[in-house]
Amino acid sequence: MSIHEIDPIHAIEARWQQQGLSRIAGVDEVGRGPLAGPVVAAAVILPAGFDSAGITDSKALTEKRRNALAERILREAEVGIAYLSAPVIDQLNIHRATLLAMRRAIEALPEPPDAVLCDGKFTPSGLACPAAAIIKGDARCLAIGAASIVAKVARDRLMQTAALHFSGYGFEKNAGYPAPVHKAALLKIGLCPLHRLSFAPCRAILTGEADKAF
């Protein structure tokens, strides 16, 4: 079978496999845009013969479907997950924190990959294997799609737990994104330890300029 006869969603992995790189990790992150909570990255190496039905960009799936797929991926694939907290994001900036989370997720895999495919335009530095960035990779590459599902489910569950400790912000539903309930709570309650102080709305609240927050 030539590469042109393969379903397009498999084509990227197939091209790398034809170069002898069999253990390909897909990497994706979740949580660049929220005002609160960590950025979470996942790295996934799918086993040969994995049932890929339903694997795609996590944002295109229902919560129920994401959860079911994440359980199967965690059960059958090699997975590494990394979390970087709000203070680290504030220290590094969100771009650098995202790349560091990706690298740590790769390093958290049970065994090193032969190659890495990352969603987006950038790959982490300091990797011990070849890497490539794939724009919209979560919809074009099975391993990246699987990583996006694992990362989103992991982060959503963490924020649901956070909602039990920091009530009023609606983290259980908005996962720290600037939804109306979250914005209203910031103006009324103020900041909590999960907020990213380097992000403009949070910084405005911190400096007493709430009128500039949103």
7 confidence band (pLDDT: 50, 70, 90): low
CA–CA separation, 52 and 82 (whole Å): 23
58 confidence band (pLDDT: 50, 70, 90): confident
Of residues 17 and 125, the one with the higher pLDDT is: 125
Q: What is the pTM of this model?
A: 0.92
Closest CA to 102 of 46, 147, 162: 147
Mean pLDDT for 144-173 is: 97
**Which range among 2-6, 74-78, 135-139, 207-211 shows the weakest confidence by mean pLDDT?**
2-6
**Which range among 47-56, 71-80, 199-208 shows the weakest confidence by mean pLDDT?**
47-56
Of residues 99 and 57, the one with the higher pLDDT is: 99
Looking at residue 2, its pLDDT comes to 31
Percent of the chain at pLDDT exceeding 90: 74
146 confidence band (pLDDT: 50, 70, 90): very high
Answer whether 102's CB lies under 8 Å from 134's CB: no
Domain spans in the chain, listed from the N-terminal domain onward: 3-164
**Which range among 15-29, 62-76, 114-128, 157-171 shows the weakest confidence by mean pLDDT?**
15-29
* CATH (residue range 3-164): 3.30.420.10
138: left (phi over 0), alpha (psi -120 to 50) or beta: alpha
Q: Kindly tell me if the per-residue pLDDT of 1 is higher than 60.
A: no
CA–CA separation, 146 and 4 (whole Å): 23
CA–CA separation, 66 and 146 (whole Å): 10
Closest CA to 45 of 175, 161, 180, 141: 141
